[in-house]
Structure 1
Amino acid sequence: IVRFTKRMGFEGYTEFKIRFLTEMMEYANQSREDDSFTNKDTVRILMEKVACMERSAIKETHLHLEPVLVVRAVKEIIEADHVDFYATDDNVHIANLAAVNLSMADKGYTLPLSISQMYLTSSRENKKHIGFIISRTGENRMLIDVARNLRAHGSKFILITSTPDSTLGKLADVVLPVVTASKLEELWTRVFWIGSQYVIDVIFAALLSRKGFKAVGERERWLRSNFHY
């Protein structure tokens, strides 16, 4: 190692370590102007870019998510007897995650998977139900129809979106903002997923804090003792 560092022009291994750590700190602190993926990226570079992307998604969503919005969303969910989720395409996975979390908090839910089921569910006049719509653009035509259905039947709904000023954002009772990719366009869905998962985890934690973490912990222990998964 000493011979190797000297061949690189250093006095010895100690000088090499100091220079290496200094340059690494400078690299870590500098802004990334180009976050796009290229076919020249090594696996290590890809690992760093993906980790940076996920950290940024959570950090930016955290900065835009006002506590008052979470309080309002949790209040609406607690007061409702049932939550109806509405999402299309990849966002169905986000809705499914939120639904599973709600079931752990003793909240019933419906997750219609077809457009016709969404229309039928949103057309039922039940003020004890609350809608939960997930749309990155806030301009999904089918979900706008669903939102208007909910409005026409006196139902409220919560929206997770990257565009609060969208058509859906203007119809929603509570809008929970999530960042999306400004670069990395090939991974914009992943960025939205990560931010949405953070928002859902915050809501879940808020629900559990009101219900009591002990009760949920006991249920989890019961599941583990009776079901092997």
Structure 2
Amino acid sequence: MNNAGVLLQSMLDTLHPAEKRVAEYILKHQQQISQISVQKLAEDTETSVATVARLAQRAGFSGYRELKFALLSATAAIPEKDDHFDDIRPGMESAQVIQQLTCWAKKCIEDTAQVLSPEQVDRAVTALLNASKTAFFGVGSSSFVAMDASFKWIRLNRWSFVYSDPQVMLLSGVMLQPGDVLVAISYSGKTKETLEVAAMAKEHGATVISITQVGNNPLHQMADIGLWVTATEAGMKRGDIGSRLAQTHVIDILYMSMISRNFTDAVMQLEETYTMVRQKRKD
């Protein structure tokens, strides 16, 4: 079961004010959630029972009862606060930075695993395996994730392409057609250029897979298949470090899932490309 606390935390920036008050109250009172009725929750947050229900449904639950059960299940496994998740501080030694960033990177990946839907991953893998062409697109740090993905697809002898120039990518989006796939990568889900390319690809019949933060952001709503990630981008960790780690992790999951589904042929392709690359290395 997904960690509902992580899910709600990831959704905060996408919620309407009333829903956000409910989510923040729940996160603050997770340990007492079993004793809080839907009526009391609505009263304490100055909202309504309908708002509570709407929040639960936006998080993927049938209602408050199911959300509360998920929170109770997750609460039992919540560890004590780890100081290694604190922000970078002045004068830290290299060993401390290594330990702190390693713990934080691990947390980004673990939290993403909590919000990533296996069903959506299965749908994405099926679409990618059946794709005639696969295009990857992202802007800024997401463009590096897209380039890494395209490189992996080439190793599997999959027809793929990636461009860093938004105008060239928009032109490429026009050439996509039914049977092709666009993987659109944007942590916010609101990047203008990425939305334009996704809309163009969808208009021409291609399947759009999005990789975004949790929530009903514009790109997630537009996509045929939506994959969620979550990462802390606070303090000195701003600069898309966490989102890049989480997005790359999802690409690796898709890549390894494709290999698993088509194991014999995939292994042959990987061995062939590895041998070719090894021959180019200097002893």
TM-score by length of 1: 0.80
Q: What is the match of residue 85 of structure 1?
A: 136
C-alpha distance in 1 between matches for 2:245 and 2:91: 26
C-alpha distance in 2 between matches for 1:225 and 1:190: 31
The AA in structure 2 aligned to 1:115 is P
C-alpha distance in 1 between matches for 2:176 and 2:92: 54
Q: What is the match of residue 207 of structure 1?
A: 258
Does the 8 A contact of 1:125 with 1:155 survive in 2? Answer: yes
SS in 2 for 1:193: helix
Q: Does 2:248 match 1:197?
A: yes
Q: What is the match of residue 226 of structure 1?
A: 279
Q: What is the match of residue 70 of structure 2?
A: none
Q: What is the match of residue 21 of structure 1?
A: none
What displacement does 1:220 show?
A: 4.3
Q: What is the match of residue 209 of structure 2?
A: 158
Does the 8 A contact of 1:164 with 1:175 survive in 2? Answer: no
SS in 2 for 1:122: helix
The AA in structure 1 aligned to 2:108 is A
Q: What is the match of residue 71 of structure 1?
A: 122
TM-score by length of 2: 0.66
Point out the more displaced range, 207-216 or 87-96: 207-216
Does the 8 A contact of 1:94 with 1:197 survive in 2? Answer: yes
Match of 1:40 among 79, 84, 91: 91
C-alpha distance in 2 between matches for 1:168 and 1:30: 33
Go from structure 1 to structure 2 and tell me whether the alpha carbon gap of 1:217 and 1:125 turns closer, same or farther (over 3 Å shift). Answer: closer
In the alignment, structure 2 segments of 5+ residues that lack a partner are 1-78
State the aligned residue count. Answer: 202
Go from structure 1 to structure 2 and tell me whether the alpha carbon gap of 1:34 and 1:91 turns closer, same or farther (over 3 Å shift). Answer: closer
What displacement does 1:113 show?
A: 2.0
In the alignment, structure 1 segments of 5+ residues that lack a partner are 1-27
Q: What is the match of residue 8 of structure 2?
A: none
Q: What is the match of residue 136 of structure 1?
A: 187
SS in 1 for 2:135: strand
Go from structure 1 to structure 2 and tell me whether the alpha carbon gap of 1:182 and 1:84 turns closer, same or farther (over 3 Å shift). Answer: closer
What displacement does 1:125 show?
A: 5.0
Poorly superposed stretches of 4+, deviation over 6 Å? none
C-alpha distance in 2 between matches for 1:225 and 1:115: 34
Deviation digits for residues 158-190 of structure 1 (CA, Å, limit 9, x no counterpart): 111114410001001111111121534534511
Does the 8 A contact of 1:102 with 1:108 survive in 2? Answer: yes
Does the 8 A contact of 1:84 with 1:109 survive in 2? Answer: yes
SS in 2 for 1:126: coil
Does the 8 A contact of 1:164 with 1:170 survive in 2? Answer: no
